[in-house]
Amino acid sequence: MTKAEIVNEISKTTGIERASVLETIEKFMEVVKDSLAHGEPVYLRGFGSFIIKTRSQKTARNISKNTTIIIPEHKIPAFKPAKVFMEDLKNQD
């Protein structure tokens, strides 16, 4: 499902105009990105958490040049679903 499809679905089911729904979703994503950029996880009860994971340093190979490179430790955004959300997915048939 794309962002446009989400906006259409919310607009259709709530009766709120598409422009307002799109603005709200854009602001939500901006708040999540800003929070993660400042090292703060975002918790949505019953849905999940947007968190920051740290990938450790590792050695990789560039096979075209036959060289070894070191990829430094870095942080990546991640999503961890809530237990209730996971149970709902497991129970769907």
Provide the residue ranges of all domains of the chain, joining segments of one domain with +.
Answer: 1-40, 50-93
Per-residue model confidence as pLDDT tens digits over 8-32: 999 999 999 999 999 999 999 999 9
Helix, strand, or coil here: 2?
coil
Q: How far is Cα of residue 64 from the mean position of the Cα atoms in its chain?
A: 33
Helix, strand, or coil here: 74?
strand
For β-strands 42-44 and 67-71, DSSP reports them as unpaired
Average pLDDT over residues 59-78: 93
Q: Which amino acid is at 6?
A: I
Q: How far is Cα of residue 69 from the mean position of the Cα atoms in its chain?
A: 29
Predicted confidence band of residue 91 (pLDDT cuts 50, 70, 90): confident
How much of the chain exceeds pLDDT 70, in percent?
99
Cα separation, 51 vs 77, in Å, equals 6
